[in-house]
Structures are given as structure tokens and as C-alpha cells.
Amino acid sequence: MNAPLKTANRRLITQLLVMVVVSFGFGWALIPLYDVFCEVTGFGGRTSGQAYESTTVVTPDTSRTVTVQFVSNVAQSGEWDFRPQVASMQVHPGQMYTTHYVARNLRAHETAGQAVPSVSPGIAGRYFQKAECFCFTRQDFTAHELKDMPVIFMVDPQLPPEVTTVTLGYTFYDARG
């Protein structure tokens, strides 16, 4: 091989390696960046994962009613009975409400679970505020234990008027270890 061809090949290999490293770095950073984006914008039905704390008084909008539906899922690896106590509620934006989910450990030994929330439609995620939620912490269970787990929430009065139904869903995962 002649020298110019060897130099061109080395340059090409170097460029390809740099491209691989940059692609890997971008892929690695994409998940945390997407999580931050979803928490800030409410995109993908994400809620902030933080308890709602407000020093301002919110006046309930009693002229408007929003249907809040409650759904539950169990991750494939879980051995749980997990469900909402009610399928839906009619709520006035700006007013606090309480609902409950029930989870039972179906195993004959201690375990732990964690619920991950989702709100749909995606735009409603930024307007759905939770003051208290079992999803904020890991839930420890004894063998066959049944837990009643409350969610205290409010739909923000700033929810766009075209949104008349909001769905709060949780997926329950094993959180052992």
C-alpha cells in the first residue's frame, strides 16, 4: 500500500471511532435528559414525583367538573394484587381529594414494591398535583400483607378547558434490593 492511502485509512478509522464514542455518549445521556424534560413539561404523563406544596390559596372552580379515572398495572415480574378502590371520581379543579389504591403481596415472604405514576393525556401531567402519594416511597410488605394506600390530589384550575377527563395510572414494580 502507498503512504497516502494508509494515511487516509487511519484518518477514516479515527473519525469512525470518534463517531462511535459520541454516539454512545449521546445515547447514555438521552435517558436522564428525557426524564428531566418530561418532569418539567409534563410530557408523557409524568408528574413531578414530589409532594405538592403551595403557599398560595387555590380557589376551587365549582363551575367545572373533571372526570379523574384510576387505573393500575403490575409489572410482569411482580406477584401483586394491585388496584384502585374506585374506578373514577368527578372533581372540581382546585379542590383536594383523596382516593385509595390497594396492594397485596401474593408471596409467602417479605418483599417490597414501588409504584410509578403516569397521567394522561400527557398535557394533564403538569396540572395534576399530589399532596400525598404511596408512589413517593418504596412500600415494604410482609408475607401476604394487604395495604390500603392513599393518594391526596388536586387538579389545577389552569388545566386547559378542552381536557375533561384525566387518567391517573400506576404500574407496580418489585423493588427488592
pLDDT digits (tens, 9 = 90+) for 138-158: 999 999 999 999 999 999 999
CATH architecture of 45-174: Sandwich (2.60)
**pLDDT of res. 20:** 85
135: how many CB neighbours lie within 10 A of its CB?
20
**pLDDT of res. 107:** 93
Tens digits of residue pLDDT in 15-49: 988 888 888 877 777 777 666 666 655 555 455 45
What is the arithmetic mean of pLDDT over 65-73?
97
Q: Output the pTM of the full model.
A: 0.70
Tens digits of residue pLDDT in 80-120: 999 999 999 999 999 999 999 999 999 999 999 999 999 99
166: how many CB neighbours lie within 10 A of its CB?
23
What is the arithmetic mean of pLDDT over 112-133?
92
**pLDDT of res. 5:** 84
**pLDDT of res. 40:** 53
Scored b (16 or more CB within 10 A) or e, 37-59 reads ebbeebeebbbbeeebeeeeeee
Task: Write out the E strands in 57-164.
Answer: 66-74, 80-84, 88-91, 97-105, 111-120, 128-133, 139-141, 146-155
Confidence band, pLDDT 50/70/90 cuts, at residue 132: very high
